[in-house]
Structure 1
Amino acid sequence: MASTQYKRSSSWSSKSTSSSDFQVHIRGVPFTLDRDLLAAKSAKLAVILKENPHEDLSYTLRDIPADPETFELVARFCHGFELDVSTDNVVPLSCLAHCLEMTEKHSTNNLLKKALTVFEQRILPSWNECIKALRTIENIRQQAVKFGLVDACVESIITKAQANPLLLGEPIKKFTSNDDTEDNENDDYMPNVRRRLFVLDWQSEDLTTLSLWLYEAIISAMYQRKVPLEYLAASLCQYAKRWVFSSNTGEDDISIYKRNSQREVIETVERLLPGEKGLLPCTLLFEMLRFATALEASSGCRNGFETRIGKQLDQATVKDLLIPSQGYAKEMQYDTECVRRILKNFYCHYTRQDASGLIMVAELVDEFLAEVASDIDLKMSTFLSLAEMSVSASAGTQRNSDGIYRAIDIYLDKHRYLTESEREEVCQVLDCHKLSPEACEHAAQNDRLPLRMVVQILFVGQLQLRDTIVKEVQGSDDRLRKLEEEEAAEEEEEEKRAKIGCGEEEMRVEMEKMSNKVIELESECHEMRRKIQSDCSSRVEKEKGSMWKEMKRKFGCISSSMHDCNNCHVKKKKKKVHPR
């Protein structure tokens, strides 16, 4: 490495205007540099070289925030070589240029301005470039934070996540709970049409590739900026998968450093996870709890996962509850105490409106009891405690006790050393009145049950048989009574129909009578109209004759004949002529 640096330093001296070279060491790597060229670009080095013109400065810059590769780029720039500022070196170059005071005030077209221009124009506008740039600052964390480069990148990332939350990943609820695939790839994020045209296969960089302190700072800021919780939860789960789930924490040869690192990650993820119900599948929360337990995370971390699980325990499966024992409880196969705490959390968050969820949890506990009952190290007190919680959960419901009976049967079969009184104590949680007929028949012949329990079950069976017979008799009476009521109703219906039929016949006769009367009235009216017309015509004729007589009388026509009437005026004239 040192020989390579010496070869490169000879190429710089070819462009030097002074022969006054000096040597410095950067993290053990020596560099031969020209005093005048460095002083021309760096205000800080100019002051140091001016104040120490003859002293050995080989270790003067040993504390600067730079690695040998970055310092070599700065040295090449000072010696007049063209410098390619990229995403991989822009942040280290900016920090080192800032530290060496390579500003425009000291020299025009200096390195700091060149690096910051690239940072502002190429890095900040891009989600991908911001994340890539943040991955380069681990060795210069303090300087990058102090100089403001980290805050600028974080602000750019948050703004873009607000505009498009899919950059954080799909919400977990869209995935299957048993997702064993690698980290989910985010949907393509196309900032603008021009970019889409020229970069068709562009994909967003994964935020979970950042170091924990950076990732925590970004997620915490996103909470304050109201980025949707389901996307934050998705990103946090992906972070846990990348840095915790992908490693086998149960291996004995795992390094203490890696184990501590994984513990820190799982504790941070729990602290950042939203507390709202339903954002994450219950199976995934159980997986996080298992890793937290295996890594011996803090009690606050484990309690946080248990509380979240308790809020949605009705979504869990029996497989989820089978948490391997750790530490002092390793003599038992499964961590039943953890299940008890989760059950308590469920009951604390239970509401009356969620009765179906209560029954589902009770059935889940029954199945869990049946699974763990075969553990020879399962204490009777622990078994009874879980059984009582299951019974209490189903109190007041129509759910039967077959599940509890099955678990008790398995427990007594695997713990045959129990005394008669201890077996009676185990069976106290069983409500014989809620056993199905099939379960009663099996229990009556079960030699593992204590004698008192068998007698009680037989008595309950007799009571159930008596009740069944009584119900059958009552059912027969009810059916007979129903048939009689149906027959009476049919007879009453027939009478109504008969009455309705008689009424209709009477109404028909009356209608016929009324129709005949109407016909008679019409005939009478017609006859009367004819007589009236005849009388009127004869009367008119009489009136006409009498009027004619009267007129003739007035005109002196006594004769009724028309001839006399026509000659009456001649006769009158003749009477007036006197003889001569």
Structure 2
Amino acid sequence: MGVCCDLEVDVNGEATFLVDKRIILSFSGRLRKLIRTTTDVSRGLKIVLHGFPGGPEGFEQIARFCYNGGRVEITPSNIILLHYAARFLELECPTDSAETHLIAETKKLLQGLNFWSWPELLLALKQYQICASIRKDSSLVKKLLDSLISRLGFTSYESTCSSFSTSTSFRYSYDTRSHDSSSKFTRTTWWFQDLVFLNIDLIHKLIKMMVSHNFDHKIISKFLFFYRKSRPCHSEPAQQRRITQGVINLLCLLDHQNSFSCDGLFDIYQVGLSLKISRKSKHKLEVLMGSQLDQVTVSHLLIPAPRGKDYVYDVNLVLRLLKFFQIESKLFLFQLCNFGKVTKLIDSYLMEVAPDSHLKASKFSALAMAMSHSRESHDKLYQAIDLYFQVHVELCEDEKIRICSALNYSKLSNETLKHLAQNPKFPCRRAIKSRISKQDSPIDLFCHTMISKVLRETPFGCTSNGNAGKRRDESHESKSHIIREKSKCVF
């Protein structure tokens, strides 16, 4: 071809093609419009195409179509790309050509996508993803995802036979990936691995459509956890952060009741901290974690304190989770047994954080008070407070009294009451009696009576300066009296 017929085309700044101007312009209405005012044909022209669907690969497919006289083999691996590239270039067939218009042909074949096989749908979605400039065209992707979702309730095996025409103009072949690799998945999760290639934008569309189709929320959450873990680890931190935040937003669309894996939520939280996810995403995730607090173990809560903090574990996080759990409980009317699980969890957590010499009394007190009214027994709470006092010998009386206010003495066993009366680390007898005497409820009055008896009848009480007095044996009569008095109380 002569130089005068050459046309230089820059596609998205990624690649440059030198094409025959007469051939390309005979098909592309858009390119004809761009150079319509050009009269100088003695030198080559250059056109820059921004946002070309499929980039250089898409333009190369169209160039082959044009050079081949308007003929191309359309397959699931190129139908989406050909369709949008043809629309972008306003592709037409020359008047002397008998070939079918490419746009009309691809459009006709796309109308039958409900009859495509599972692998064909995946190939089409991969092509859709690389067409970065057609994100606003939601009708086609909706049809693709609708067809995809309709297959998810069926068997994991899809026929490798193509649903496309076997004619010379529309043949199809593809790499029949073995399904043996998905044998580790269950009947309801066989598709997880197949959809990992989708970007977070398509995943967002997919999950919203699943929710609208009343898809099982447990299965959706499992897929989201799997998807986040399966994305390439070598991705840029910004991309990983975007994926993680996108997954968090999608999890928030699901039912908070028994839809999530605690391990999955806390795993995302740890990853999110390292990726420095936004404060908004972190808050959303903590709300989800708090809603599942009755399902977690104490090991889940042992998250290291933020960098730069002296205390060992992130107590502030646990306090926030408790707040969110209580809010969720009011909204969804959780059963009382859930509160029982959470109080046992917090008691165990208190035992873990009590030895931390850097944990402030105000934080420990807030933890102790958080679920104090839901405890059936306060023995373990007393043990945690006792351990905290052993480590924090520098505490003043006011701080000790504030922490001890979480204790309900009527819910202490006889053995714990006797241990308390002889414990020199707890506030002095006068401070305890003064604190209790200011409370007005019947139970608190009972506590006042009980602790007064224990302190009066057990000479090993604390003195006003917190030092222990001399021990002397309790009489069998006073022990029996305490037990009788406690047994009379009805809660």
Q: After TM superposition, is the score higher than 0.5?
A: yes
Matching residue of 1:338: 317
Kept in 2: contact 1:127–1:156 (CA 8 A): no
| Other structure's SS at 2:19 match | strand
Matching residue of 2:366: 385
Deviation at 1:192, TM superposition (A): 10
Q: Distance in 2 between matches of 1:456 and 1:286?
A: 47
For the pair 1:60 / 2:47, whether they are aligned, the reply is yes
Matching residue of 1:410: 387
Kept in 1: contact 2:4–2:44 (CA 8 A): no
Kept in 2: contact 1:135–1:211 (CA 8 A): no
Q: Distance in 2 between matches of 1:369 and 1:247?
A: 36
CA offset digits 1:243-265 (Å, max 9, x no partner): 4xx859xxxxx966346434543
Deviation at 1:339, TM superposition (A): 1.7
Q: Distance in 2 between matches of 1:64 and 1:443?
A: 75
Q: 1:401 aligns with which of 378, 390, 393?
A: 378
Kept in 2: contact 1:318–1:364 (CA 8 A): yes
Q: Distance in 2 between matches of 1:41 and 1:123?
A: 31
> 1:69-80 counterparts in 2 under 5 A?
69-80=57-68
Deviation at 1:403, TM superposition (A): 0.6
Distance verdict in 2 for CA 1:163–1:100, change over 3 Å? closer
CA offset digits 1:364-400 (Å, max 9, x no partner): 1111111111222211111112112232222xxxx22
Q: Distance in 1 between matches of 2:160 and 2:18?
A: 47
Kept in 2: contact 1:324–1:335 (CA 8 A): yes
Q: Distance in 2 between matches of 1:335 and 1:456?
A: 40
Q: Distance in 2 between matches of 1:126 and 1:255?
A: 34
Kept in 2: contact 1:44–1:101 (CA 8 A): yes
Q: Distance in 2 between matches of 1:71 and 1:353?
A: 58
Q: 1:37 aligns with which of 9, 15, 23?
A: 23
CA offset digits 1:427-450 (Å, max 9, x no partner): 343344433344456556644344
Q: Distance in 1 between matches of 2:40 and 2:162?
A: 58
Deviation at 1:277, TM superposition (A): 0.8
Deviation at 1:79, TM superposition (A): 1.9
Q: 1:324 aligns with which of 304, 311, 314?
A: 304
**Aligned-pair identity (%):** 24
| Other structure's SS at 1:135 match | helix
Q: 2:329 aligns with which of 350, 372, 377?
A: 350
Distance verdict in 2 for CA 1:45–1:284, change over 3 Å? closer
Q: 2:285 aligns with which of 297, 305, 324?
A: 305
Matching residue of 1:314: 294
Matching residue of 1:280: 260
Matching residue of 1:236: 224
Matching residue of 1:538: none
Matching residue of 1:24: 8
Aligned-partner residue type, residue 412 of structure 1: F
Q: Distance in 2 between matches of 1:346 and 1:372?
A: 20
For the pair 1:436 / 2:413, whether they are aligned, the reply is yes
Q: Distance in 1 between matches of 2:47 and 2:162?
A: 49
Matching residue of 1:190: 158
Deviation at 1:100, TM superposition (A): 2.1
Q: TM-score, normalised by structure 2?
A: 0.71
Q: Distance in 2 between matches of 1:255 and 1:34?
A: 40
RMSD over aligned CA atoms reads: 4.0
Q: 1:96 aligns with which of 81, 85, 88?
A: 85
Kept in 1: contact 2:291–2:325 (CA 8 A): yes
Matching residue of 1:515: none
Deviation at 1:295, TM superposition (A): 4.0
Q: Distance in 2 between matches of 1:286 and 1:278?
A: 15
> 1:140-179 counterparts in 2 under 5 A?
140-143=131-134, 145-146=136-137, 151-162=139-150, 164-165=152-153
Could you list the runs of 5+ residues in structure 1 that have no partner in the other structure?
A: 1-12, 167-186, 249-253, 472-580
Q: 1:134 aligns with which of 125, 131, 143?
A: 125
Q: Which has the higher helix share?
A: 1
| Other structure's SS at 2:131 match | helix
CA offset digits 1:480-531 (Å, max 9, x no partner): xxxxxxxxxxxxxxxxxxxxxxxxxxxxxxxxxxxxxxxxxxxxxxxxxxxx
Distance verdict in 2 for CA 1:73–1:190, change over 3 Å? closer
Q: Distance in 1 between matches of 2:197 and 2:452?
A: 66
Distance verdict in 2 for CA 1:290–1:29, change over 3 Å? closer
Distance verdict in 2 for CA 1:159–1:226, change over 3 Å? farther
Q: How many residues align?
A: 418
Q: Distance in 2 between matches of 1:64 and 1:247?
A: 28
Q: Distance in 1 between matches of 2:369 and 2:80?
A: 62
| Other structure's SS at 1:60 match | strand
Q: 1:219 aligns with which of 207, 211, 214?
A: 207
| Other structure's SS at 1:59 match | strand
Kept in 2: contact 1:376–1:415 (CA 8 A): yes
Deviation at 1:225, TM superposition (A): 3.5
Distance verdict in 2 for CA 1:385–1:49, change over 3 Å? closer
Distance verdict in 2 for CA 1:303–1:416, change over 3 Å? same
Kept in 1: contact 2:291–2:328 (CA 8 A): yes
| Other structure's SS at 2:303 match | coil
Aligned-partner residue type, residue 116 of structure 2: P
Deviation at 1:193, TM superposition (A): 10
Q: 2:343 aligns with which of 349, 354, 362?
A: 362
Larger radius of gyration: 1
Q: Distance in 2 between matches of 1:389 and 1:374?
A: 19
Distance verdict in 2 for CA 1:64–1:317, change over 3 Å? closer
Could you list the runs of 5+ residues in structure 2 that have no partner in the other structure?
A: 164-175, 183-190, 433-450, 459-473, 486-491
Q: Distance in 2 between matches of 1:442 and 1:417?
A: 21
Q: Distance in 2 between matches of 1:341 and 1:45?
A: 60
CA offset digits 1:161-192 (Å, max 9, x no partner): 245347xxxxxxxxxxxxxxxxxxxx714379
Q: TM-score, normalised by structure 1?
A: 0.61
Matching residue of 1:201: 179
Higher relative CO (CA 8 A, sep ≥ 6), structure 1 or 2? Answer: 2
Kept in 1: contact 2:379–2:416 (CA 8 A): yes
Kept in 2: contact 1:23–1:33 (CA 8 A): yes
Matching residue of 1:465: 479
Kept in 2: contact 1:282–1:315 (CA 8 A): yes
Kept in 1: contact 2:453–2:482 (CA 8 A): no
Deviation at 1:332, TM superposition (A): 2.6
